[in-house]
């Protein structure tokens, strides 16, 4: 269970960094980059939601918290740390 929570946390970070890159691609009018990232983000989000929802209700809550925590850290990294802009 701990490994799954860590993986969901890391997935949340990666997804949020990708969403930041997607938003930047839209702002810069990079059509192909934004299109690819849109599809990738949608696919991975639905895959992760399937994993989270398929768990028992109590484990599902912890999975949601781990994923949300990863999204929070991903947003922080994308906005505060210079490497967030390089993605």
Residue 30: strand, helix, or coil: coil
For the segment 25-79, what is each residue's pLDDT rounded down to a tens digit?
Answer: 999 999 999 999 999 999 999 998 888 877 766 778 888 899 999 999 998 988 8
1 within a domain of the structure (yes/no): no
Quick one: pLDDT at residue 9?
94
Q: How far is CA 30 from CA 20, 25, 74, 84, in A?
A: 14, 5, 22, 18
User: What's residue 30's pLDDT?
Assistant: 93
Per-residue pLDDT, 32: 95
Residue 87 in this model has a pLDDT that exceeds 80? no
Q: Is residue 76 domain-resident?
A: yes
Residue 71 lies in a domain: yes
Indicate if the alpha-carbon torsion angle 83, 41, 16, 6 is positive or negative: negative
Residue 81 belongs to domain spanning: 8-86
Counted domains in the chain:
1
Q: What's the whole-model pTM score? A: 0.81
73 domain residue, yes or no: yes
Residue 3 covered by a domain:
no
């Amino acid at each position: 269970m701990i490994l799954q929570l860590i993986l969901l946390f890391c997935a949340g970070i990666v997804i949020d960094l990708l969403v930041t890159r997607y938003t930047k691609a839209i702002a810069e009018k990079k059509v192909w980059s934004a299109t690819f990232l849109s599809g990738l983000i949608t696919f991975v989000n639905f895959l992760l939601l399937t994993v989270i929802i398929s768990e028992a209700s109590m484990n599902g809550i912890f999975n949601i918290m781990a994923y949300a925590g990863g999204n929070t850290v991903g947003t922080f990294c994308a906005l505060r740390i210079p490497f967030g802009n390089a993605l």
